[in-house]
Amino acid sequence: MAGSSFGKSFVVTTFGESHGVALGAIVDGVPAGIELSEEYIQKFLDRRKPGQSTVTTSRNENDKCRIYSGVFGGKTTGTPIMVMLENQSQRSQDYDELAITYRPGHADFSFDSKFGFRDYRGGGRSSGRETIGRVIGGAIAIKALEMLGIKVQAFTQSIGNVYAENFNLEECSENDVYMPDNEAAAKAVELIKRAKEEKDSLGGIIGCIATGVMPGLGEPVFDKLDARLSAAVMSIGAIKGVEFGAGFHVSTMKGSQNNDPFFVDEDDTGLHIRKKTNMSGGILGGISDGSPIIINAAVKPTPSIAREQETVNAINEEVELEIKGRHDPVIVPRAVVVVESMVAITLFDMVLENMKSKMDNVLKVYKN
């Protein structure tokens, strides 16, 4: 299958370019009977909109989504759901110079190498605006996961060298950078302002936690839950690294430290096997183990910076480049909802895939 679709059972196919007519997604494989409205999806889209705070670009995108198919009487029908946003202004004069210049850190050169030419306006298909389609898919997945008691939440772990030290997820919505630590957030905002003044940009780390995940999601070999999640998260433009649980720290740990001991827990619903620690990040052998899923993703500094850069153009000339227009000095806060969406899409896809793992499940669905 061509590369604009993600998922096997719950499939999100995005379309659209930054300055094209519209952007959106078809979400296919959504089970029938889930409540869905434009207002609900819009809340997720608003989290990735620019112009929301002092630290994001001041471009004001008036993105209003519309559902074009797959919902009837307020519920999903089991048929493909198409949701789209028309681009309000397709102003592209800022970008004319970029028609032939290859911006460092961007996909311009690699895109031209692949396709021979490109829609250069605002990054075209490689623009962050493509993630609109992902957030649409994510909003639907999150709704379905909630019906199963699964909650996915992403947040800003760090910006530059400022790290969240408290971990209070409720604080995320109280600050401009989506950090679970208002104090660290304040420092991060200062850092961002400084970078902006220096015509430079910052990176950071986005964390994501999924709770309530039943054990059993993921397939033992290639479609391991962590393999699918890492593809999901790494497919977001600016991400350069992904890790689960103890992540890269495992390289210096001993087995006796990294192995999570199991114990038997008892509550109202009976006995449960749980782990005393969660170095595994909720995944053992590629299959969810019932502990929270823990993911970290490294986000690179925004490649569009205002300071002068050396580069080349499509006719093999070396040129100096100053990128005009308004750009985020850091992409992290706006990318949080995109990571959350990709994790949710993957988890719900695996929920559907896992239904088929046992003949008992097949009989449960058909024999009653």
User: Which residues contribute to the annotated binding site for NADP(+)?
Assistant: 48
Site for its own copies in 4-23 (CB under 8 A): 4-11, 13-17, 20-23
Exposure of 270 in the CB half-sphere (CA atoms within 13 A) = 2
The correct pick among 37, 161, 166, 173 for binding its own copies (CB under 8 A) is 161
Contacting range for its own copies; rule: CB under 8 A; set: 36-44, 45-53, 168-176, 209-217:
209-217
In eight-state DSSP terms, residue 43 is H
**Token digits for 261?**
């001991």
Contacting range for its own copies; rule: CB under 8 A; set: 45-53, 88-96, 182-190, 223-231:
223-231
Residue type for position 88: Q
H/E run at residue 104: none
366 sits near its own copies (criterion: CB under 8 A): yes
Rounded Cα distance between 226 and 229, Å, is 5
**Token digits for 301?**
């500094």
Q: Tell me if 124 sits within 8 A of 118, measured CB to CB.
A: yes
268 sits near its own copies (criterion: CB under 8 A): no
Binding site listing: 48, 125-127, 285, 300-304, 326
Phi, psi for residue 307 in degrees, rounded to 5 = -75, 160
Rounded Cα distance between 330 and 303, Å, is 9
Helix (H, G, I), strand (E, B) or coil at 72: strand
The correct pick among 60, 62, 89, 113 for binding its own copies (CB under 8 A) is 113
- Minimum distance, C-beta of residue 132 to its own copies, in the bound complex (Å): 12
- Smaller CB separation from its own copies, 46 or 146: 146
Q: Tell me if 19 sits within 8 A of 92, measured CB to CB.
A: yes
Site for its own copies in 341-360 (CB under 8 A): 351-360
- Minimum distance, C-beta of residue 242 to its own copies, in the bound complex (Å): 6
- Smaller CB separation from its own copies, 169 or 355: 355
- Smaller CB separation from its own copies, 65 or 170: 65
The correct pick among 44, 95, 178, 244 for binding its own copies (CB under 8 A) is 244
